[in-house]
């Protein structure tokens, strides 16, 4: 397997060096593996910290900047960051108004962020957390770790980031973050497995004629395997899974997200089908994103995330944002 790397051990730090070189608006602490805004914390503004395994670029480091995150802690590939990173990030962004941790619901992320929040609180920083768990593929939450956090993480980071930028207090930022999560659902499909640099070969085998339905974002196999089919039918399967869990209506924010190995032309083919499905429900994609935002290395496939908008969420989504991965209005 060919990868553009220097060595398996240095992938994450080498990528961070590149991020630092490419984006002077960010300050990258390669030793501590954290990325913060170069402008530093703004007094009185709630700080937003997120993080997770690397391999999902631009999530999360690519969403650090005005209107979105204040800091990101990238872990090793597909491995959650460690509490030291999160504590360093939390301290670096604390402007005295408290810090919100945005955590995807994966056991490792949850445990490490919990430990970091406790330790930061002992240091006198007010820390709140929001758990993102939007993946409808995980149905039986009673006997599992609960739904995974996937595409809605971007929505939460953007909208809570906009709210924090207004100078809103921590409870308000927490409220809106929770609301975005509650109104968002995702479902993913893989056409191929991904290859982590350390493993050097695909994490699972998929025949040319097969797909995985209900994948997460870590290269883990999905819930069911099925025969490959056309984009229209695939989009319908995905949208029905979402609609069944959360009836879709009205104005929505829709992301057709590539998993890293699928060209944009195919993502737009999918988006056309998604838009048709929404129309059939009397809904519209009032706001949309098409592209690679929450990826899984070189995995082929896509996920769809739908958020049911209201006036407040729409306004906050439209607010200016300036990050390496998302940028408008400024």
Partner 1 sequence: MGAATLDTAFFAAWIEEITRSVGAEKDRLTRLDAAIGDADHGTNLDRGFTAIAQALADKEPDTPGALLTLVGSTLIRKVGGASGPLYGTAFREAGKALADVSEVSAAELVGALEAALAGVQKLGSAAEGDKTMVDALAPAVRALAQAVQEGKDPREAAEAAASAALAGAEATVPMQARKGRASYLGPRSVGHEDPGAASTALILTALRTVAAPRSAGGSPPAGPDGSPGW
Residues tagged active-site: 56, 218
* Residue selected from 84, 91, 210, 322 as contacting partner 1 according to rule CB under 8 A: 84
* Residue selected from 1, 5, 22, 198 as contacting partner 1 according to rule CB under 8 A: 198
Binding status of residue 23 toward partner 1 by CB under 8 A: no
Binding status of residue 79 toward partner 1 by CB under 8 A: yes
CA distance 283 to 123: 47
113-132 footprint of partner 1 as x/- string (CB under 8 A): --x-----------------
| Part of the chain binding partner 1 (CB under 8 A), chosen from 21-29, 81-89, 271-279, 280-288 | 81-89
For β-strands 284-291 and 251-258, DSSP reports them as parallel
* Residue selected from 34, 60, 69, 78 as contacting partner 1 according to rule CB under 8 A: 78
* Residue selected from 29, 126, 220, 322 as contacting partner 1 according to rule CB under 8 A: 220
Binding status of residue 143 toward partner 1 by CB under 8 A: yes
Using CB under 8 A as the binding criterion, the count of chain residues that bind partner 1 stands at 35
**DSSP H helical segments within the chain, as ranges?**
11-22, 83-93, 107-122, 152-165, 170-182, 231-245, 264-280, 311-318
CA distance 259 to 330: 28
Binding status of residue 251 toward partner 1 by CB under 8 A: no
* Residue selected from 137, 162, 189, 267 as contacting partner 1 according to rule CB under 8 A: 137
Query: DSSP states of 154-202 as a string?
Result: HHHHHHHHHHHHTT--HHHHHHHHHHHHHTEEEEEEESS--B-TTT-SB
Estimate to the nearest angstrom the gap between the alpha carbon of 308 and the chain centroid: 17
The 10 Å CB-count burial string (b at 16+, else e) for 229-261 is eebeebbbbbbebbbebbebeebbbbbbbbbbb
Contacts with partner 1 by CB under 8 A lie at 53, 75-84, 106-108, 111-112, 115, 137-138, 140, 143-145, 148, 196, 198-199, 203-204, 216, 218-221, 223
């Amino acid at each position: 397997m060919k990868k553009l790397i220097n060595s398996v051990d240095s992938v994450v730090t080498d990528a961070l060096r590149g991020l630092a070189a490419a984006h002077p608006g960010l300050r990258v602490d390669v030793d501590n593996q954290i990325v913060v805004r170069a402008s530093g914390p703004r007094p009185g503004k709630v700080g937003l910290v997120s993080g997770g395994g690397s391999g999902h670029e631009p999530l999360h480091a690519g969403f650090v900047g005005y209107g979105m995150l204040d800091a990101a802690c990238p872990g090793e590939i597909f491995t959650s960051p460690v509490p030291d990173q999160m504590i360093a990030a939390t301290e670096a962004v604390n402007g005295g108004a408290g810090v919100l941790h945005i955590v995807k619901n994966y056991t490792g992320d949850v445990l490490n962020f919990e430990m970091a929040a406790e330790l930061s609180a002992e240091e006198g920083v007010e820390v709140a957390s929001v758990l993102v768990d939007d993946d409808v593929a995980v149905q039986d939450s009673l006997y599992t770790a609960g739904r995974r956090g996937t595409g809605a993480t971007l929505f939460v980071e953007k909208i809570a980031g906009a709210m924090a930028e207004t100078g809103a207090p921590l409870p308000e930022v927490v409220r809106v973050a929770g609301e975005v999560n509650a109104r968002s659902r995702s479902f993913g499909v893989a056409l191929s497995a991904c290859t982590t640099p350390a493993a050097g070969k695909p994490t699972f085998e998929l025949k040319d004629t097969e797909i995985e339905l209900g994948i997460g974002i870590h290269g883990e196999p999905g819930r069911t395997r099925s025969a490959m089919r056309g984009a229209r039918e695939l989009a319908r399967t995905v949208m029905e899974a979402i609609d069944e869990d959360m009836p879709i209506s009205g104005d929505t924010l829709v992301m057709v997200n590539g998993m890293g190995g699928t060209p944009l032309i195919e993502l737009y083919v999918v988006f056309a089908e998604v838009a048709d499905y929404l129309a059939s429900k009397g809904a519209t994609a009032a706001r949309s994103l098409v592209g690679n935002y929450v990826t899984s290395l070189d995995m082929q496939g896509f996920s769809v995330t739908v958020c049911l908008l209201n006036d407040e969420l729409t306004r906050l989504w439209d607010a200016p944002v300036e990050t390496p991965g998302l940028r408008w209005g400024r």
